[in-house]
Amino acid sequence: MICTGCALLCDDVIIINDSGNLKVRNACRRGAKLIANYKNLRADATINGKKVNYEEAIERVKEIINNSESLAIYGMDTISIEAQKLAIELAERKEAYIDDNSTFCLGDFVEMILKKEIPSTTLDEVRDYAYVIFYWGTNPFHTLSRHMSKFTYYPRGKRRQRGYEEDRFLVVVDVRRSHTAKLAKKNAKFFEVRDDLELIQAFIDALDGKPPKIFANDVFRVIKEMEKSDFNVIFGGLGLRYGLKGKYDKFLEMIRKMNERTKVYFIPLGCHPNMRGFNELLYGITGYVNKYSFKDKESKEDFAFYNLLFEEKIDTALIIGTDPLNSLPFEYAKKLAKINVIVIDPRENFTTKIADVVLPSAITGIECGGKMKRIDGVEITLEPMIEAEIDDVSIIKSILNLIMEGI
């Protein structure tokens, strides 16, 4: 079975279904807990915090959406591609804004990959061929717990048969000695940085044959290691994204110069199980990965969900499978509390506490199937471990049907 606990979508998880009690083998602690405890703290259908039946809740959703003059649909990174498609259709019909967590996560990098501005690859190829493996501003030990054991540092691959101490070279870049950085011992280098741009400049200088201002010996050594192989990979996380301070051109310049010497690929390491799926789907339909307005038919920073909130451009937010109260800075979260909030989610979360309406859903990958895209863009098919009556697809379909009645 597939675990949807994170964007790795591990496909080797064994589930024993004992009359609805799920026993889990092979998953990491996080995945195992998510699956085994799927019954915990499930959301109820509510209107203004009061329990109602599902039909009443959906009727209220219809009223709110039909009366909305400016709707944003947000989240969707934990639901199937089939459900994402319907949410996009709903946004189109309502001429709404649509956005997901990648807007302040790693969507910019995914867009660069889809536009072929940066070379990327799959995790299976990394396992088989990669020699130098960078983790830049990311700590997979905590975010994607089986990343290193399944795909990068530890496994043997077609052309990597001799084990991690000989056949892989690990580079970790972080502002602190993270658990991933602590693994960088033999055949490895940890760069403890204050400013990511300084290290990028150091690589650019070294590749131009100039002495780098920082980490001179180590930067030259890493480049030398990269030149030993025709397959190296950089995994970048939020630390890199925010460390760049918007200067993506510097990072692209470094990658381009590295690729003049050897082959280097890049994969952004997001955490949400189907963020990549949403980005690719929206890109296929609109040419943009996120922050899109169906009214204006374009994507721009102003249409990022957090900016729509901050500028008070929307009267209603339909939040699907995410918890913006947990992740948005206070100044934005408090604006969300000012407008109509509809939440579709399997579990209670902070945002359900402020929602006008909550529609409880199924946990994708546990109670309903569908397709998702792994962190590297590989499509994965999910089979439900147990079947739920109501899931994101049926909920969004019902909303669409009701909205059509109102048009």
Partner 1 sequence: MPLQFSKYLKIEVEVVVARNSFQAEAVDKGKMSKKFVEKSAVVFMNEDFARRNGFKEGDIVRLSRRGRSINVKVFICETSPRDGVMMPNSIYSSYLADFDNFKRFRAYIELSDGDVTKPDEIIDQIKNKNKK
Strands 169-174 and 188-192, sheet pairing: parallel
Residue 71 binds ligand SF4, judged by CB under 6 A: no
Task: Decide which of ligand SF4, partner 1, none touches 250; Cβ closer than 5 to 8 Å per partner kind.
Answer: none
Tokens of 320: 């699907």
Cβ nearer to partner 1, comparing 84 with 352: 352
Residue 354 binds partner 1, judged by CB under 8 A: yes
Count the residues in the chain. 407
Considering only 223, 238, 308, 342, the residue that binds partner 1 (CB under 8 A) is: 238
The b-or-e profile of 26-62 (16+ CB within 10 A means b, else e) is ebbebbbebbeebeeeebbbbbeeeebeeeebbebbb
Considering only 322, 349, 361, 364, the residue that binds partner 1 (CB under 8 A) is: 349
Residue 254 binds ligand SF4, judged by CB under 6 A: no
Cβ nearer to partner 1, comparing 104 with 129: 104
Residue 91 binds ligand SF4, judged by CB under 6 A: no
Distance in Å, CB of 363 to ligand SF4, minimum: 13
CA–CA dist 276, 363 (Å, integer): 18
The torsion of the CA quartet 70, 321, 310, 244, rounded to 10 degrees, works out to -130
Distance in Å, CB of 166 to partner 1, minimum: 27
Stretch that binds partner 1, among 109-117, 333-341, 364-372, 387-395 (CB under 8 A): 333-341
Cβ-Cβ contacts under 8 Å for 348 (sequence gap 6 or more): 41, 42, 43
Maximum Cα interatomic distance, the chain, rounded to a whole number of Å:
69
Could you tell me where the beta strands, DSSP code E, fall in 96-227? 97-99, 132-136, 169-174, 188-192
Residue type, 165: E
Q: Residues interacting with partner 1, by CB under 8 A?
A: 28-30, 33-34, 36-38, 40-41, 104, 139, 141-143, 145, 175-179, 181-182, 192, 238-239, 242, 271, 306, 323, 325-334, 336-338, 347-350, 353-354
Q: Residues interacting with ligand SF4, by CB under 6 A?
A: 3, 5-6, 8-10, 27-28, 30-31, 144-146
